[in-house]
Amino acid sequence: MAQALNGKDIPSSYEQVYAAICPNNEDRVATNTFLDVAAAAKVKPADAKQAWHLADLGRTGALNKNGLYHALALIALAQQGAEVSTAELEFRQELPPLKLDNLESLQQQAKQASKFGDFTYRELEESEFIQVTLGKATGVLKKHNNYSVFSKRNNSTVSRRYSDFEPFDTLLRKKYPYRIIPQLPPKTFGGGNKKPEFVEKRRRGLQRYLTFVGRHPVLRIDEVVVTFLTEETDIQGKIKELARGAQDEYFVNPVAPNAGELVPDDMTGRVAGLQSELPNLIEIILHMKELAIELVSHTQGLAVIWRDFAEHLRMLGATPSGYMAGESRWQEANRYLKDVANLMGAVADRGDEQQLREEDGIVDNLNAFYEVLVGFKDLLQRRAKGVVKEVSSSAKKQTQERRSLSRLDSSSSVESAAKAAALQAKLNQTGAAADQLATMNNFSIYCVFCESKLIRAFFTQIGVMLEELASTQATGHRQLTAAWQQVQPIVEELVRKLDVTGFK
């Protein structure tokens, strides 16, 4: 038994359930899998749902090992007829044992569920928070930008240059050819990389890139990713060292030999469907992203206009106009014009704040979704040009060799028999290589299946983006309304001061 839940020993029955439904120590249990466990334990659905609700505090739709143990303790209470509550668990000195038969059946159900289980966007979002901020530029003759990278999952902050990201990205692609890896933002743009606008754009791009990698269920636990997010010194040297022994995921993933059993039977058709849907979807999201950028530019432009307008009001008040407007009332009006100009500056400030909200909430979400979709498209293309092409070439080669062998077998000469024996040996080697290629192809299909589930989760970003759109516009309009309401009474007073008879 292990001390893992509120200082209380974990009953062996809990550990047996975890081993059955997470045979590869996945540390993740989805809702449906847990409900299968509760059904096998003969617990009422209402009690099972209550147990899940109490254990899934983050509302992510999945539990880690300790979360599962918490939920199992709650349904064990239900088996005893006790109240399903955290308070009841805390009151007890020991965790109640769970009565459960036929773990093999549960294991098969979990295996089947893994074929169709999905991640929730909230679960991925809660798994990591990455923040990339611009640090102080360093260098004697040639300055370069440093980035401070914070990882909540690893509780670490490290300093990185753009040149650190390049070998990191290269190594990830070498190890994970059939996983989504977004493109790094460009090193330079338009012949320069020192302009503040470009530096900020690249910072945001690096943050989105690391956020996706840091939340990816497979990539986030890789030694390369953990090292990049935690090791402060000589990161390029450490990446080179890790690259020496790096292998394609196929050779190290324990599910690779039987990956074909872990995908739906119609997965080939699904891949074709994904390939046909992606281009149009990418084009639509790209256009939405461009519109969002226009929105930000419009908001920024309005802030510039109001700031310029305010400056010209100050200039107007400072211009001698006594003969034109009347000396005494123009002196008084000058004071009001300065007040209005200052308040219009506040209107411009609200516009600046609105621009940042739109950039963070709308543009970044659309950029992230777009980059993931393009990454998935790149994955499908790598697969088509890689293992799929190799399988096709291998099949053609085998067909040609079998035809040659058939012709030799039909001949009765000694020379032909010798050639046939040599060709048969070669065919046996080709067949063994073909079998491995078939297994690699199955694994690539399995990876595509897993990544397609991530894409499904990331569709939530459309909703998140629209939520941010509504929120930012509502907030922005409220703040602008409040700012203009402060301007209005001063302007009304200005009108009263100017609109008088007499010319003094």
For the segment 166-201, what is each residue's pLDDT rounded down to a tens digit?
999 999 999 999 999 999 999 876 556 678 888 999
- Give 144's strand partners: 138
- Cα separation, 430 vs 432, in Å, equals 5
Q: Where would I find the H helices in 162-266?
A: 162-175, 196-215, 223-230, 235-244
> Which secondary structure element, helix H or strand E, spans residue 82, and what is its range?
none
In terms of Cα–Cα distance, which of 405, 400, 407, 397 is closest to 421?
A: 405
The answer to whether the predicted template modeling score (pTM) of the entire model surpasses 0.75 is yes
Ranges of the chain whose pLDDT falls below 70 = 1-4, 111-117, 138-142, 189-193, 321-326, 329, 397-431, 500-504
Burial class for 488, CB neighbours closer than 10 Å (0-12, 13-18, 19+): exposed
CA distances from 418 to 415, 426, 428 (A): 5, 13, 16
Q: Provide the pLDDT for residue 503.
A: 46
- Cα separation, 182 vs 125, in Å, equals 17
Q: Provide the pLDDT for residue 346.
A: 92
> Which secondary structure element, helix H or strand E, spans residue 42, and what is its range?
none
